[in-house]
């Protein structure tokens, strides 16, 4: 699940990949896109872990 900021960042990087004229720029932007996707995944995992740790079964 991506949030609005991650989706925006991915769209922006993909647009720049399409406009890049050199291999170096395309490679850099592709690595940047992978990083944005990975950061979004880790953010969601950390958020889910925090939700799990905050849940208290005695309150239910």
Rounded Cα distance between 45 and 42, Å, is 5
The DSSP-derived string for 3-54 is -HHHHHHHHHHHHHHHH--SHHHHHHHHHHHHHHHHHHHHHHHHHHHHHHHH
Eight-state DSSP code of residue 59: G
Predicted confidence band at 2 (pLDDT cuts at 50, 70, 90)?
Answer: low
Do the Cβ atoms of 54 and 35 come closer than 8 Å? no
pLDDT at 40: 93
Q: 19 or 59: whose pLDDT is higher?
A: 19
User: 3-57: per-residue pLDDT in tens?
Assistant: 677 889 999 999 999 999 999 999 999 999 999 999 999 999 999 888 888 887 7
Whole-model pTM? 0.76
**For the chain, which residues make up each domain, given as ranges?**
23-51
pLDDT at 55: 83
């Amino acid at each position: 699940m991506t949030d609005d900021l991650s989706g925006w960042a991915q769209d922006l990087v993909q647009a720049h990949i399409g406009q890049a004229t050199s291999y170096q720029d395309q490679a850099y932007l592709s690595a940047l896109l992978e990083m944005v996707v990975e950061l979004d995944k880790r953010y969601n995992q950390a958020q889910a872990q925090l939700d799990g740790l905050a849940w208290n079964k005695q309150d239910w």
